[in-house]
Amino acid sequence: MTKTWIITGASSGLGRIMTEKLLARGDHVVATVRRLDALTDLQQRHEAGLHVIALDVTDTHGMRAAVAGAFDRLDRIDIVVSNAGYGLFGAAEEVTDEQIDRQIATNLVGSIQLIRASLPYLRRQGGGRIVQVSSEGGQISYPNFSLYHASKWGIEGFVEAVAKEVAPFGIDFILAEPGPTATKFAAGLDSAAPTKIYDATPAGDVRRGIADGSFEIKGDAARTVDAIIAAADAERPPLRLALGSTAYESISRALEERLRAIRAQRDVAFSADR
Annotated catalytic residues are 134, 148, 152
- Closest CA relative to residue 181, chosen from 247, 228, 238: 247
Bin 183: left if φ > 0, else alpha if -120 < ψ < 50, else beta.
beta
Strand 28-33 relative to strand 4-7: parallel, antiparallel, unpaired? Answer: parallel
Whether the Cβ atoms of residue 141 and residue 152 lie closer than 8 Å to each other? no
28-33/190-191 β-pairing: unpaired
Task: Give the ranges where the chain is alpha helix by DSSP (H).
Answer: 13-24, 40-45, 60-74, 97-103, 110-124, 146-166, 202-212, 221-233, 245-264, 266-271
At residue 247, φ and ψ (nearest 5 deg) are: -65, -45
